[in-house]
């Protein structure tokens, strides 16, 4: 960061010092052609082309079925316990 001023009493391990917002907004910095974080992401099917999302639907469907079975089991258990208590 070329617009930060290092503090004499702080170790360099914990940052770059004070940041001057005016210097940061008015500094002459070289243009960046590439995204420093890499290419934009998204869902891919492994060959670089966007996938159709069927894997996400499959995982969601399995999760919903599992959740439904869990809820049905809890309701059945509560009803059984309630009838047995009478």
pLDDT in tens, 30-75: 888 887 777 776 555 555 555 567 788 889 999 999 999 999 999 9
- Distance between CA atoms of 71 and 77, rounded to whole angstroms? 10
- Distance between CA atoms of 86 and 82, rounded to whole angstroms? 7
pLDDT in tens, 1-35: 555 565 566 555 555 667 778 888 888 888 888 87
Site of tokens 């001023």: 5
| pLDDT recorded at residue 33 | 83
Task: Kindly tell me the sign of the dihedral angle through the C-alpha atoms of 32, 38, 41, 44.
Answer: positive
């Amino acid at each position: 960061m070329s617009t930060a001023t290092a503090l004499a009493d702080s170790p360099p391990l914990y940052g770059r010092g004070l940041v001057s917002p005016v210097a940061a907004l008015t500094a002459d910095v070289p243009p960046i052609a590439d995204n420093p974080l890499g290419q934009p992401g998204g869902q891919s099917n492994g060959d670089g082309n966007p996938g159709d999302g069927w894997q996400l639907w499959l995982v969601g469907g399995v999760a919903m079925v599992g959740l439904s079975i869990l809820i049905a089991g809890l309701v059945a258990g509560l009803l059984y316990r309630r009838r047995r208590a009478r």
